[in-house]
Amino acid sequence: MWPKGLRRGFIRALLVQVLPVQLLFAPLIPAVFGPAAHAAPALKLVAFGDSLTAGYLLPADEAFPAVLQKALRKDGFNVTVVNASVSGDTASDGLARLDWSLGEGTDAVILELGANDMLRGIDPAITRKALDAILARLQARHIKVLIAGMLATPSLGKAYAQAFDRIYPELAAKYKAPLYSFFLDEVTTHKGLTLADGMHPNGTGVEKIVARILPKVEAMLRAIAAKT
């Protein structure tokens, strides 16, 4: 045992030497050991579609995934939006590349396919079968899906439009998935919101789409966060 006086002197000296060091590094302690060190990783949301979500003829920062990510983060969501869309893809093309396009850790998907099927006049039964298979695989992987619907152009005739248009709400009901009825709603027929082709959104059109679909996306992300 140390003599009481010597022990007190040692403790006093130790405090003098150590306390300033603790104060010096105190601002760093929360960053290393506090809540930030245990913060949940960002949710991974994948835009899985065709040229409408790929950003056809647009700079990368004006494409749908980038604009959506910016809007979500502005609203406080810790999320990364991945662009896994390929221009020209049909629903069957999407099915063929689904497994390697969606990496591990995918939490949610915005499924936007079918526009090219419609433009090529592909039998709606084929489109339905491919989208059904995609949704079944995503469900098996426990990945949440927001279905972005498409509508047939009137030029294809009433019978085609009826068969095509009902694909999306019926599959949404089957898989109990949220549905955004028409991805190009309030964009495709409005001047100043599309490219020269009259269908693909320009930068302003993408912002319009994001603003309109945002509540559906945020509701899906909240549902995911509530279960984690």
197 in active site: yes
Dihedral pair phi/psi, residue 2, rounded to 5°: -80, 150
41-226: CATH, from 3.40.50.1110, 3.20.10.10, 3.10.20.30, 3.30.70.260:
3.40.50.1110
Q: Which position among 85, 107, 165, 200 bears the catalytic label?
A: 200
Q: Which position among 51, 107, 117, 165 bears the catalytic label?
A: 51
**For the whole model, what pTM was predicted?**
0.83
93 in active site: no
Judge whether 144 and 223 are in contact, CB under 8 Å: yes
CA angle 138, 144, 148 (to 5 degrees): 90
Q: In the block, which residue shows the tokens 């409408």?
A: 52
The neighbour count for residue 110, using CB atoms within 10 Å, is 26
Q: How far apart are CA 207 and CA 193, in angstroms?
A: 9
Q: Could you give the residue range(s) of every CATH 3.40.50.1110 domain in the chain? A: 41-226
Q: Which position among 38, 142, 155, 197 bears the catalytic label?
A: 197
Per-residue pLDDT of the chain in tens (228 residues, 90 and over written 9): 444 553 444 334 433 443 343 433 344 433 333 344 346 789 999 999 999 999 999 999 999 999 999 999 999 999 999 999 999 999 999 999 999 999 889 999 999 999 999 999 999 999 999 999 999 999 999 999 999 999 999 999 999 999 999 999 999 999 999 999 999 999 998 989 999 999 999 999 999 999 999 999 999 999 999 987
89 in active site: no
Closest CA to 54 of 89, 6, 3, 16: 89
What ranges in the chain are assigned the alpha helix state H? 4-25, 28-33, 51-54, 64-74, 91-101, 115-119, 124-140, 158-165, 167-175, 203-226
Q: In the beta sheet, which residues pair with residue 46?
A: 82, 109
Residue 86 tokens read as: 């390929």
Closest CA to 93 of 124, 125, 119, 127: 127
